[in-house]
Structure 1
Amino acid sequence: MEPKTTHADTEINTGGNSLHVLVGVDDSTESRDAMAAAYELFGGDSRYTIITVHQSPPLVVGMMGAGTTVAGMHHRLDESILEHVAESAVSGIRDVAPDDADLTFRTEVGHAGSAICEIATEEQADVIVIGSRDRGFLDRVFTPSVAKHLVDHAPCPVLVVR
């Protein structure tokens, strides 16, 4: 039997095969909605990799005081921020995912769209699920959309939950 897609209120028939679902999250309501939709659509037989990406600010390399570089400070800052960002996102996802869900959590640093595409390729994900938030005109102009990047570059289908 061929896999089929249906409306969001019905689980997707995968022909008995377990899917590997990659869910890109942050600490937003939209991310929790994306996880809930992913589980509703792809069910409890699927494996879920939950990825949080901390998007680093551009590096400025220069000297500060007695030989401390901004780049070096940036590296140490990422490690402490990374832990906080990941925990905030993960706690929201654990609230919406069933206790018996097969969840693996990953945290990366970099451009969110590129990192998610790389992980999807590395882990051979069958589908990527992300939430989308309404953004104002200036935000869309000056901040690239992760959803748009994924739709254009992902190695597998992308489901954007609104």
Structure 2
Amino acid sequence: MNKILFPTDGSAYSEHAARMTGEFLEAWPNATGVVLYVTVKENYAYDFATEAVDRYEKELSKHIEKKIMEGVLQPWKDRLEYNHQISHQSQTICHVAQTEEVDLIILGSHGRGVFDRVLVGSVAQGVLHRSEIPVLIVKK
């Protein structure tokens, strides 16, 4: 194991995946990791207040980076890089995984039911079906 990708949205579900990422980094002391936060521009707020949403997302990204790098994954922060992308979540996660040549994607899941996935989709499900790289989905 050389490299791990940990996509996060800053939620409690992501924190469980962050702890699992830490366990993998502990088990493989030479492994490095990429913490990825993806901003989705596919919402209606961008149509009305692009600059305000951009500022908000930039601040949120900084908050998530600090929360992860100084929190759960602090013991390994010298082996991690933080990456913020603006695009479609599951496609971007898979693209970054391939570009960074990671060995594993560790992703939190909200654990929504079938009805919720039909209405809002699931990033974890999208990554699982798109990725050519192994995916570990962590549920609470």
- TM tier, shorter chain? 0.7 to 0.9
Contact 2:39 2:89 in 1 (8 A): yes
- The equivalences for 1:122-141 within 5 A come to 122-135=99-112, 138-141=115-118
Alignment pair present for 1:46 and 2:31: yes
Q: What residue ranges of structure 1 are gaps of 5+ in the alignment?
A: 1-13, 61-69
Partner of 2:16: 33
The runs of 5 or more residues in structure 2 that have no matched partner are: none
Superposed CA RMSD: 2.3
Identify which of 44, 59, 72 aligns with 1:96: 72
- Deviation of 1:138 after TM superposition, in Å, equals 4.6
Structure 1: distance between partners of 2:91 and 2:119: 17
Aligned length: 135
More helix by share: 2
Q: TM-score, normalised by structure 1?
A: 0.72
Matches within 5 A, 1:106-125: 106-125=83-102
Q: Say whether the 8 Å CA contact 2:22–2:76 is kept in structure 1.
A: no
Whether the 8 Å CA contact 2:104–2:136 is kept in 1: the answer is: yes
Q: Summarize the Cα distance change of 1:108–1:77 in structure 2 as closer, same or farther, 3 Å threshold.
A: farther
Q: Identical aligned pairs, as a percentage?
A: 23
Post-superposition CA distance 1:76-108 (Å, at most 9, x none): 345313312212322331210133431100111
The answer for the alignment partner of 1:80 in structure 2 is 55
- Alpha-carbon distance between aligned partners in 1 of 2:74 and 2:44, rounded to the nearest angstrom: 39
- 8 A Cα contact 2:7 2:106, kept in partner: yes
Report the more deviating stretch, 76-85 or 42-51.
76-85
Query: Normalised by the size of structure 2, how large is the TM-score?
Result: 0.83
Q: Specify which structure has the bigger relative contact order, considering alpha-carbon pairs within 8 angstroms and separated by 6 or more residues.
A: 2
